[in-house]
Amino acid sequence: MAGLESFDVKQLRLWRQQILDIYDSYVDVFEEYGLDGDLRSLLNNLDNLLDILSTKLPYQLMVAMVRDFLEELDRFRVYSWRYVGRAAEQGC
């Protein structure tokens, strides 16, 4: 992933807020399709990652952890968008 070397932890915190904003906008859909538990798990993993990144770890380990989280976030995006996207198109 290009640019990961200069990755800013502040960006992860911004993403956390954006994830919460999306959830708040579509809370009924997330709950209806049972995605709210998956989303909470994703946010817990993000909180854990932010805690870990605030410690002094080897740089390569931090890069690997961020990369793993980004992959998890992308999997959730693909999985959940099938439901959220359909509901948004239907005017839910």
Please give the residue range of the domain that contains residue 36: 9-89
pLDDT of residue 7: 61
How does DSSP classify residue 63?
A: H
pLDDT of residue 1: 43
pLDDT tens, residue order, the chain (92 aa) = 444 555 677 877 887 888 788 778 877 877 888 888 888 888 888 888 888 877 877 878 888 888 888 888 888 878 777 776 666 666 55
- 3 domain residue, yes or no: no
- 2 domain residue, yes or no: no
Considering its fold, how many domains does the chain have in total?
A: 1
Q: Which amino acid is at 76?
A: F
pLDDT of residue 36: 81
End-to-end CA distance of the chain: 35
